[in-house]
Amino acid sequence: MKTTDKPVIFSGIQPSGELTLGNYIGALKNWVNLQEEYTCLFSLVDLHAITVRQNSKEFHKQCYDALAVYLAVGLDPEKNNIFLQSHVPAHSQLAWILNCYAYVGELNRMTQFKDKSGKNKDNINVGLFTYPVLMAADILLYQTKLVPVGADQKQHVEIARDIAIRFNNIYGDIFTVPEVYHPPLGARIMSLQEPTKKMSKSDDDAGATIFLLDSPDVIVKKLKRAVTDSEAEVVYDQKNKPGVSNLLTIMAAVSDRSVDDIVSEMQGQGYGKFKTAVADSLVEFLQPMQERYKKLRDDQAYLDSVLKTCAERVVKLGETTLKTVYITEER
């Protein structure tokens, strides 16, 4: 089944806090690069975010903050569909059906569920467990071909593929089987404090994460404190020098340079100078984006109009697959 002539991309970010450099390098940057060649659906997946308890007032604000970031990094709402997941009921409707085709055993293997249920022991809710099924519904609803995400989401895209194949085997060619897309560089940006752990917006230590709206001073401070190693050589070696390798990846991604190029520039320079260079490249990249953000964030009427116009388009796109699934099930 096809929805448009161009192949479809679906991806989303949870508006569960301030967006991070990991979200940018692992996801947003690639969305911007792919937006011309595909029919794109970029969602703020608010229904996924409530699997962890949110403060409702803050949450409402965070959704608009994240929307303004989407636009400020260069996603064009004329060419793309940028929308809140909860504005399109078909996601939840399809998710219920797919729940009946997903197995408890396969959901039990999801590492994100294990991590998040470990961190939220007082709220291991059923939504957290069936989270990957809602994500499968997001993807399969639009006959998505490509899902650009960071490395941590690979397992979830695989389960979406498995569910699609399982459903198609029973009912015929209903869903496009999606493929994962990881960026060539930076599919897993690491914590600045524990460089063997993923950078995350919900890290308890704010010093571990660069937020896209961090001020230059804060960025410089965070970089100064970033964990490296006891040597002094700027070399890319993920296994033995995860901190330095992570900083190299960050600098390469935000300045569109190769890691090799930066390594040769930094030869014999020591970590102090290297960290300053990384901070400078981050500030240079983030400042113009932050200025665009401020303007967009102040224009509530524009943000609302983007959400409204896109949601109207997306509701129509989603109807086609949902109808086919309902008819198929009745047969």
Residues sharing a CB contact under 8 Å with residue 126, sequence separation 6 or more, in sequence order: none
Burial 293-329 (b: 16+ CB within 10 A, else e): beebbeeeeebeebbeebbeebeebbebbbebbeeee
- Return residues touching ligand ATP (CB under 6 A): 13-14, 16-17, 20, 22-23, 25-27, 149-150, 152-153, 187-189, 198-202
φ, ψ of residue 205 in degrees (nearest 5): -95, 105
Instruction: Report the distance separating Cα 11 and Cα 60, nearest Å.
Output: 20
**Beta strand pairing status for 81-84 and 39-44?**
parallel
Given the rule CB under 6 A, which of 5-13, 198-206, 286-294, 311-319 is the region that contacts ligand LTN?
A: 5-13
Question: Which one among 147, 164, 220, 282 touches ligand LTN, defined by CB under 6 A?
Answer: 147
Q: Which is nearer to ligand ATP, 190 or 325 (CB)?
A: 190
State whether residue 120 is helix, strand or coil: coil
Provide the terminal-to-terminal Cα distance of the chain, rounded to the nearest Å: 18
Given the rule CB under 6 A, which of 55-63, 71-79, 148-156, 257-265 is the region that contacts ligand LTN?
A: 148-156
Decide if 198 is catalytic: yes
Q: Which residue is nearest to ligand ATP (CB)?
A: 26
Q: Using CB distances below 5 to 8 A depending on partner kind, what does residue 139 bind out of ligand ATP, ligand LTN, none?
A: ligand LTN
Q: Which is nearer to ligand LTN, 8 or 266 (CB)?
A: 8
Strands (DSSP E) found in the chain: 8-13, 39-44, 81-84, 146-148, 179-181
Q: Using CB distances below 5 to 8 A depending on partner kind, what does residue 135 bind out of ligand ATP, ligand LTN, none?
A: ligand LTN
Cite the active site residues: 116, 198, 201
Residues that bind ligand LTN (CB under 6 A): 10-12, 14, 45, 48, 135, 138-139, 147, 149, 153, 156
